[in-house]
Structures are given as C-alpha cells and as structure tokens.
C-alpha cells in the first residue's frame, strides 16, 4: 500500500515540476518580463531570522520592496539608454 502512495506522490511531484516548467516558459514568452531577486538576512540581524522569513508574507513589506526596486530598475534602465545614446553619437 505504501508503494502505491509513494508512486502516486512521485508522479504528482513530476507533474507539478513539469507544470512549473511549462508555466515559466509560457510567462517568458507571453507574460511580462521578470527578474527574481533574492534578499539575504542583513548582517547583525541573525537573532531575527524568524521575523525576517515572515516578511515574505507581509503585504506592506512587499509593497515597499516593489516601490524601491521599481526606482532602482528605472534608474539602471535610464543609465543604459543614455549610455547607448552616447555610443551612437560617438
């Protein structure tokens, strides 16, 4: 009986992995382009590990991160556009 459960569980995992691969592929082609960013626990905050990990579910934190990253991305894209514009002139 446990073999059947294990086989079913493994098949479900394989199906989920295949689904994720197809979804990611579809999103790359049809969806908005995305960059996934990893955030590490800042040095000196090791005692707040649990609180840090809980931030991933905190709506206000995610909103603040989104705003901050939006500014950083725009800054870098503008810099790249100016750099390319300068290369065309020079």
The CA distance from 41 to 29, in Å, is: 33
Q: What is the pLDDT of residues 20-79, one digit of tens each?
A: 898 888 888 888 888 889 999 999 999 999 999 999 999 999 999 999 999 999 999 999
What's the distance, Cα to Cα, between the start and end of the chain in Å?
73
Distances (CA, A) of 79 to 2, 74, 84, 86: 59, 8, 9, 11
pTM of the model: 0.58
């Amino acid at each position: 009986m446990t073999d059947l459960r294990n086989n079913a569980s493994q098949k479900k995992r394989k199906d989920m992995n295949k689904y994720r691969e197809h979804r990611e592929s579809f999103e790359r082609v049809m969806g908005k382009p995305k960059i996934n960013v990893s955030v590490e626990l800042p040095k000196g905050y090791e005692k707040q590990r649990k609180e840090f990990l809980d931030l991933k579910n905190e709506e206000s934190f995610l909103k603040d991160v989104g705003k901050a990253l939006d500014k950083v991305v725009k800054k870098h894209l503008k810099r790249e556009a100016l750099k390319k514009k300068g290369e065309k002139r020079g």
